Structure 1
C-alpha cells in the first residue's frame, strides 16, 4: 500500500493536474488508467484519485515518452516500488493531519475548494460524455440515413441500368431483324435477276439456233440452183 506522502504535501484534483501537465481532463484519467493497469498506485478517496507531485511527474513521463506508453508505465511502476520499499513504513498520521486541516479555516477553505473543483470537473466530464453520446447518436442516425440513401441510389441505378440494357437489347434485335429482312430481299432480287439472265440467254441461244438453221437451208437451196444452171451449160 502506498505510504510515501509527505506531511502538508499539496494534493491536486484531476482538473488541476490537467492544467499543470497541459493535457485534457479525460487524458489525465486515461494516463491514470494506463499506470494503474501496470501496477501503479494512487492515493484514492473512494474511486477518486488524489494526485501528488510524484504522480504529476509520472503523468508528464507518460505524456512525453517516445516508446509505447505501457512500457514507460512499467518503468514508472518499478521506480515507485523501489521508492516505496526504501521509505520508512512508519505511518503518517493522515487522519490526524486531516483532522488538523479541518480545524484550520484556511486549510478547510482549501479543502472545500478542492472538493468544489473536483465536483466541477465531474460535472464537466458528465456534460462532455452527454455531448459525446448525443453526437454519437446524431452520427449513427446520419450514417443510417446515408445508408438508406445509398441503398436507394444503388437500387435506382441498377433499375435504370437494367432498363437501358433491355432497351438496347430490343433495339439491337430490331436492327438485326431489319438487316436480316434486307439481306433476304437482296437475295430474292439477285435470284430473280439470275433467273431473268438465264431465260434471256436461253432465248438468245434459241434465236441463234433458228437463224443458223435458216441460213443452212438457204445455203443448201442456193447450191442446188447453181448445180442446175451448170448442168445446162455443160450439154
Structure 2
C-alpha cells in the first residue's frame, strides 16, 4: 500500500489531471487502467483514483512515450517500487530516532515549535506554488485568447485584402470593357465616315460623267452646225 504522500501535498481529480495534461478525461482513465494492470498503485477515495504529483509525472510519461503503453507502464511500476522502498527505509530511520527524542518537555516544546514553523513554511510555499500555478493558467488562457484574436485579425485582414483585390479586378475589368466599347464606337463612326466619303465621291463622279456627256453632245452639235454653214457658202 502506498504511503509516500508528502505533508500538505496537493491531490488532483481526474478532471484536473486532464486539464493539466491537455488530454481528455477518458484518456486519463485509460492510462490509469494501464498502470494498474501492470502493478502501479494509486491513492484511492472509495473507488475513485486520487492523483498526486508523482502520478501526474507517470501519466505524462505515458502520454509522451513512443513505445507500447504496457512497456512504459512496467518501467514506471519499477520506478514506483524503488521510491516506495526508499520511503520505507526513511520511515524506519525516523521511527528509530523517536526513541532518541529528549524527555525534557522544554526541549520537546522547542522541537515541536521548530517543526511547526517548518510545516507553516511548507504550507506557505505550497500556497505560493498554487497561486503561481493559478497565475500561470491565467496567463496561458490569456495567451490563447490573444492568439485567437490575432488569428481572427489576420483572417479578417486577409479577407479584406482579397475583397479589395476582387474589387480592383472588377473595376479594371469594367475599365477595359468601357475602353473596348469606346474603341468599337470609334471604329463604327470611322466606318460611317468612310462610307459617306465614298458615296460623295461616287456622286461627284456621276455628276462629272454627266457633265462630260453633255459637253460632248454640245460640241458635236456645234461641229455639225459649222459644217452646214460652210457647205452653204459653196452652194451659192
Report the TM-score when normalising by structure 2. Answer: 0.51
Distance in 2 separating the partners of 1:177 and 1:77? 85
1:37 offset after TM fit, Å?
Answer: 5.1
Q: CA deviation at 1:132?
A: 0.8
Matched, 1:178 2:181: no
What residue is the counterpart of 1:189 in the other structure? 197
Give the equivalent residue in structure 2 for 1:207: 215
Q: Distance in 1 between matches of 2:95 and 2:21?
A: 30
Secondary structure of 2:67's partner? Answer: helix
Corresponding residue for residue 36 of structure 1: 31
Unaligned 5+ runs, structure 2: 10-19, 81-86, 102-110
How far off its partner does 1:224 sit? 8.5
Deviation at 1:35, TM superposition (A): 8.8
* Distance change (3 Å), C-alpha of 1:147 and 1:184: same
Matched with 1:143 is 151
CA distance in 2, matches of 1:152, 1:145: 10
SS at match of 1:71: coil
Give the paired residue count: 194
Structure 2 counterpart of 1:23: none
Distance 1:144 1:102, change over 3 A: farther
Q: For residues 159-203 of structure 1, what are the alpha-carbon distances to aligned partners after superposition, in whole Å with 9 as ceiling and x for unaligned?
A: 444444444433433333233223212211121011101221222
* Greater RCO structure (CA 8 Å; 6+ sep): 1
* Structure 1: runs of 5+ lacking an equivalent: 15-27, 85-91, 230-235
Equivalent residue, structure 1, for 2:73:
77
